[in-house]
Structure 1
């Protein structure tokens, strides 16, 4: 039984070792099967003088789920996870807004891109919109510092790649794939005039360029939101620490990322043929298209769960980067809890724009032999 459970029930380690307690239907119960309800959670995360404030668990279930992207049971687990990882103690928290409400404010903003869903709720009426919005950067920073390192993990050695490689091979029959990579833009509003040129993307918007890598289960294994919108995807990749990690993995055995034709073919980064001239080359392109579509679906799922990513974020680059990383972290957290996304919330996945065929293939690149190997491998099993 983990420490979060111990915190939830207010138990000591000795009590846990005596095995007097167990889980039943997602609730913590004692020897008499008496269920402990969320009021115990509120008692844990609030100072005594704040416990009389409205309890967020009294919000109607459907409104709660629609407003905060989680049901009450998942939020309870998420809140305790944050408390556990930050060694949170209410007696040293000097803020007047309780920690549980600050987390809900951040979740509501990530879900909608605004905090209007909080307006009808008694628990939030005491505080101004400015005060509530101030919670978002703080909680996102906490999530990035204390949750992201464990929920967004890129494999660093060969043993850690085994499961991912097997997953991709089972689904797409391509060996040695570690992830699928691409970039997308997130719009910003708070950019210094002197830096506008650097942040203006190809669509003319002020934005950051976010590089993401996902695995076969639509889990983000790397998120890099540090680049400005005016940079190209290749520029971001060439300065990514993941490139160094992949080079180290490739020294011992083949390890590849899959990307679109916007990137250059490399020994660790494989993309489709620019001008397929045979059925075997077209077959490889078709498989790669399915893999890239999976990444598109993953990104759309992320943006559908967290609508703030479709808005113009009213924050600077650093805060926006934390917001993007927090969204990806919570996405992975939800996957770890088998928390399915409702179909009606999922936006339509846009079709990829096809690039014109090139006159010449990049046969001189170091990844040409690797792509030929994949092509021949697909040929041998079809």
Structure 2
């Protein structure tokens, strides 16, 4: 009997006390839960709240306004899951119209800061980009890779046919340029799904900067949907020599970074992925939400926040020192630049 009492006392001594979390404080959770639910750890959510506070804090004497923290968490939950607004409202004890206003206000606050988080690198940063891209497949002088991705949306009432893409669903065609670390350095969010990638590129400001020489001494890598230019290198359509085949292999291994970027963004923020259904808003609001999601992705990259559902990263060759621009002819037309570069690969 005494032995049984002693075992019971020892068991009570070593028993871990249960910790009851505050149901009304969503941040009273461990970081791994916050990463799964909101895609950010606690300290970064708090920093984001403080940054957006001037835009979200409402002065009112009529009733209690929704705290900034709750507005940001509601929007982050929507971006991360793509759930219906009434489902998110049940989580936070808010009505569906209140969740709608939170998403709209947080989205607008983020979009106002787009030039702060999505910007093309300066000359010094472009040199770093070239070095990072070279480590992937020994392709020199690359400052970015470009492609478009389709974000599914609800069929709009006006000009519905313009939003039907080649895969026969309604979408926004988003053009992105990224660096070797999956950071977005340029993006265009305003074109309907039927618009061709090359048309978006030709009507973009970044294209004019390359054409006018404002951005020089570097290449973008695109797929065959883009026109070959001295600053835009695309693969050989029908490679006929070992040099052309090697060019295509290196080009493909380097350019796949942009495809991996889209996979990471859509895994991290399910509201822009087809598994989340579609964005059920008018196209203009869909474009703002997409822009906000891409801004949040860059914040994750800048702060080394992991993507829990996607591990696609390019191969690293850290022992290589890239010869930036050595022996590469940067003048002439696109055909000449591509031929001169391919000749170095054999």
Shared topology, TM-score over 0.5? yes
Which of 39, 50, 54 is residue 80 of structure 1 equivalent to? 50
SS of residue in 2 equivalent to 1:55: coil
1:107-118 alignment to 2 at 5 Å? Answer: 107-114=76-83, 115=85, 118=88
Q: For residues 225 and 322 of structure 1, what CA distance do their matches in structure 2 show? A: 8
Q: Which residue of 2 aligns with 1:25?
A: none
Kept after mapping to 2: 8 A contact 1:187/1:313: yes
Kept after mapping to 1: 8 A contact 2:56/2:109: no
Larger RCO, structure (CA 8 Å, separation 6 or more)? 2
Q: For residues 161 and 183 of structure 1, what CA distance do their matches in structure 2 show? A: 21
Q: For residues 301 and 38 of structure 2, what CA distance do their matches in structure 1 show? A: 16
Q: Which has the larger radius of gyration?
A: 2
Kept after mapping to 2: 8 A contact 1:272/1:288: yes
More divergent stretch after superposition (365-374 vs 219-228): 365-374
Kept after mapping to 1: 8 A contact 2:58/2:65: no
How far does residue 90 in structure 1 lie from its aligned partner after superposition? 5.9
Kept after mapping to 2: 8 A contact 1:180/1:215: yes
SS of residue in 2 equivalent to 1:282: helix
Which of 282, 306, 309 is residue 269 of structure 2 equivalent to? 306
1:87-106 alignment to 2 at 5 Å? Answer: 91=59, 96-106=65-75
Q: Which residue of 1 aligns with 2:165?
A: 201
Q: For residues 286 and 370 of structure 1, what CA distance do their matches in structure 2 show? A: 17
2:297 aligned with 1:331, yes or no? yes
Q: Which residue of 2 aligns with 1:15?
A: none
How far does residue 299 in structure 1 lie from its aligned partner after superposition? 0.6
How far does residue 306 in structure 1 lie from its aligned partner after superposition? 0.4
Q: Which residue of 2 aligns with 1:49?
A: none
How far does residue 376 in structure 1 lie from its aligned partner after superposition? 2.4
Which of 297, 301, 309 is residue 260 of structure 2 equivalent to? 297
Q: For residues 88 and 160 of structure 1, what CA distance do their matches in structure 2 show? A: 33
Classify 1:117/1:290 alpha carbon distance in 2 versus 1 (closer, same or farther; 3 Å): farther
How far does residue 175 in structure 1 lie from its aligned partner after superposition? 2.4
2:306 aligned with 1:340, yes or no? yes
Kept after mapping to 2: 8 A contact 1:272/1:285: yes
RMSD between superposed Cα atoms in Å = 2.6
Classify 1:258/1:99 alpha carbon distance in 2 versus 1 (closer, same or farther; 3 Å): same
Kept after mapping to 2: 8 A contact 1:186/1:207: yes
Kept after mapping to 1: 8 A contact 2:89/2:96: no
2:20 aligned with 1:54, yes or no? no
Q: For residues 172 and 100 of structure 2, what CA distance do their matches in structure 1 show? A: 21
Which consecutive unaligned segments of at least 5 residues does structure 2 have?
1-22, 314-331
Classify 1:348/1:314 alpha carbon distance in 2 versus 1 (closer, same or farther; 3 Å): farther
Classify 1:60/1:179 alpha carbon distance in 2 versus 1 (closer, same or farther; 3 Å): closer
SS of residue in 2 equivalent to 1:272: coil
Kept after mapping to 1: 8 A contact 2:139/2:254: no
SS of residue in 1 equivalent to 2:112: helix
Give per-residue Cα distances to partners, 1:14-73, cap 9 Å, x unaligned: xxxxxxxxxxxxxxxxxxxxxxxxxxxxxxxxxxxxxxx933322465443322112212
Q: Which residue of 1 aligns with 2:187?
A: 223
2:133 aligned with 1:168, yes or no? yes
2:153 aligned with 1:183, yes or no? no
Which consecutive unaligned segments of at least 5 residues does structure 1 have?
1-52, 350-364
Give per-residue Cα distances to partners, 1:229-285, cap 9 Å, x unaligned: 11111111111111012224477x432110111212112211000001111111110
1:92-171 alignment to 2 at 5 Å? Answer: 96-114=65-83, 115=85, 118=88, 121=91, 124-125=92-93, 127-146=94-113, 148-155=114-121, 158-171=123-136
Classify 1:271/1:331 alpha carbon distance in 2 versus 1 (closer, same or farther; 3 Å): same
SS of residue in 2 equivalent to 1:378: coil
Give per-residue Cα distances to partners, 1:336-362, cap 9 Å, x unaligned: 1111222xx12889xxxxxxxxxxxxx
Which of 218, 236, 247 is residue 284 of structure 1 equivalent to? 247
How far does residue 222 in structure 1 lie from its aligned partner after superposition? 1.0
Give per-residue Cα distances to partners, 1:77-120, cap 9 Å, x unaligned: 2222333xx47666579872111111111101110101576456
Classify 1:347/1:207 alpha carbon distance in 2 versus 1 (closer, same or farther; 3 Å): farther
